Amino acid sequence: MSWTRWAGGDRAPALTNNRGMRRSNEQQIADLIKNGTRGGMPAFPLPEKELLSLARWVRSLNMSAIDIRPAGDAIAGGQFFFAKGQCSNCHMIRGRGKVNGPDLSDIARKSTVRELELVLDNPTSQMGIHTTQSCPSWAFCPDDVWAVVNVRLRNGSTLRALPESG
Q: Tell me the per-residue pLDDT of 142-163, one tens digit each, with 9 for 90 and over.
A: 554 446 677 888 898 887 766 6
CA distance to 3, 13, 31, 34, 55, per residue, from 42 (Å): 13, 11, 12, 9, 15
Predicted confidence at residue 4, as pLDDT, reads 39
Which of the listed ranges 52-56, 66-70, 126-130 does the model predict with the highest average pLDDT?
52-56
Predicted confidence at residue 75, as pLDDT, reads 92
CA distance to 27, 43, 69, 123, 124, per residue, from 118 (Å): 30, 34, 17, 7, 9
Q: What is the mean pLDDT of residues 76-90?
A: 91
Q: Tell me the per-residue pLDDT of 118-144, one tens digit each, with 9 for 90 and over.
A: 888 887 766 655 555 555 555 555 554
Predicted confidence at residue 134, as pLDDT, reads 56
Packing angle, helices 48-62 and 26-35, rounded to 10: 120
Tell me what percent of the residues of the chain surpass a pLDDT of 70.
Answer: 73
Predicted confidence at residue 3, as pLDDT, reads 42
Q: What is the mean pLDDT of residues 81-97?
A: 90
pLDDT > 80? residue 62: yes
